[in-house]
Amino acid sequence: MNDKNEGLNERLAHRKRIQRMKTGLILFIVTWMLAWMLISVALIAKVNSLQDQIDIITKNTIRSQQVEQQENQVEKSGSISQADGKEKSEEEKSGEEKSEEEKSGETKSDQVKSEGTGRDSLGYVRMSADHVDKKDEAGSAGAQTAHTDEKAQKADVKDVDEENLKNEADHADNTKENEAVKKVYLTFDDGPSKNTEQILDILDQYQIKATFFVTGRQDKESIERYRMIAQRGHTIGMHSYSHKYDEIYHSTEAFEQDLDQIQKLLKDKAGIKCMLYRFPGGSSNQVSSMDMTEFIRILNQRGITYFDWNVECGDASYVQYSAKEMVANVMKDVVKYHTSVVLMHDAENKQNTIKALPKIIKQLQKMDAQLLPIDENTQVVQHVSAESVKD
């Protein structure tokens, strides 16, 4: 009896071991599948993120090419108009010469005709030789006086035409020279920070002005930096108060609230009525939960101008560029445009930007580029054109 019970117990124990093994195996398979699912989801999210970045880069490249084409068309049209002006001037000159020749021909014809008429009259009317001589002398004197007056008038007209042509040529030369000079606007986002004073000192060292798109700060040091930027003659623009994408772009109401905050801060603390803006992520960002045209419409209605960029130093990229590489990034793109807006960042962790800045300035000055702060006369650079957004 005991042997039977022992055998039964062994079989039960064996079955329990098998059951535990099955359960463990199932749990292992399920865990393994869940792990692969999580890895797959993470990979898909990463691929989508990379695809979004590629789309943004592609769009920016296309827009940059469009801007470049427009600038080339403007330059070509300027050259064509100058050529047309020169051709027109040459045509006017040749027309005047022809007119003079025609008048000269008419004068000769009249003289020949009057000589023939005089000879016929001699056969019909008898006149004394003295009377004929006196009349001929008087006629010659009158014709000579008229011819002299006509030459004087033509000389005056010619002098005026030459002066106008000279002025047009000078204007064309100045226009061509202005078009050849490249304008570069250095812009710094995300400040103020502990690096702000270093950036300002470098700009002062090379006697140039730049543009700072700032975010909201209430601490004493930051408020002093707002004022310092303005006092040193640089342009200040808004870059949102919070710089939190999910909050700013959650709704139009949230965007306007954030806009009011940063605008009021700059007015109260720095005495600046700011009408210049840069969207966090740019007007073509793919992070916003709403269509960016909704926020562009708000800026249009308030008369606020926004600027994107067409040149980047690369200090906001996932790639950690060295200072030397940042200089190369800027210089390879500024040569493409007549107006370049360079994206850089004023943040505590952007030490390579501080190292690259003097070298960037030197290279730009070496190519005789104008380094300017953004103002109301600056040609706008926008990834999504404000004019394309209707009220």
Q: Do 264 and 258 meet the contact criterion of CB atoms below 8 Å apart?
A: no
Q: What is the mean pLDDT of the chain?
A: 79
Instruction: Tell me the pLDDT tens digit for each residue of 340-352.
Output: 999 999 999 999 9
Give the pLDDT band of residue 20 (cuts 50, 70, 90).
confident
Instruction: Count, in order, helices (H) and strands (E) of the chain.
Output: 9, 8
Tell me, what's the pLDDT at 377?
Answer: 95
Tell me, what's the pLDDT at 42?
Answer: 80
Give the pLDDT band of residue 13 (cuts 50, 70, 90).
confident
Tell me, what's the pLDDT at 339?
Answer: 97
Tell me, what's the pLDDT at 228?
Answer: 97
Long-range contacts made by residues 48-57, C-beta under 8 angstroms, separation at least 24?
52/286, 55/286, 56/284, 56/285, 56/286
Judge whether residue 278 has pLDDT over 80.
Answer: yes
- The CA angle 106-110-116, to the nearest 5 degrees, is 145
Which residue, 204, 177, 206, 226, is CA-closest to 346? 226
What value does the mean pLDDT take over residues 359-368?
97
Tell me, what's the pLDDT at 118?
Answer: 37
Give the pLDDT band of residue 66 (cuts 50, 70, 90).
low
Judge whether residue 241 has pLDDT over 70.
Answer: yes
pTM over 0.75: no
Distances in whole angstroms, Cα of residue 20 to Cα of each of 6, 14, 260: 21, 10, 65
**Best mean pLDDT range from 11-15, 80-84, 293-297:** 293-297
Tell me, what's the pLDDT at 176?
Answer: 45
Judge whether residue 204 has pLDDT over 80.
Answer: yes
What value does the mean pLDDT take over residues 89-93?
50
What value does the mean pLDDT take over residues 142-159?
48
Give the pLDDT band of residue 159 (cuts 50, 70, 90).
low
Higher pLDDT: 161 or 224? It is 224
What value does the mean pLDDT take over residues 179-190?
91
| Range in 115-129, 227-241, 338-352 the model is least confident about | 115-129
Give the pLDDT band of residue 11 (cuts 50, 70, 90).
confident
Helix, coil or strand: residue 379: coil
Judge whether residue 333 has pLDDT over 90.
Answer: yes
- What are the two backbone dihedrals, phi and then psi, of residue 247, each rounded to the nearest 5 degrees? -85, -50
What value does the mean pLDDT take over residues 232-242?
98
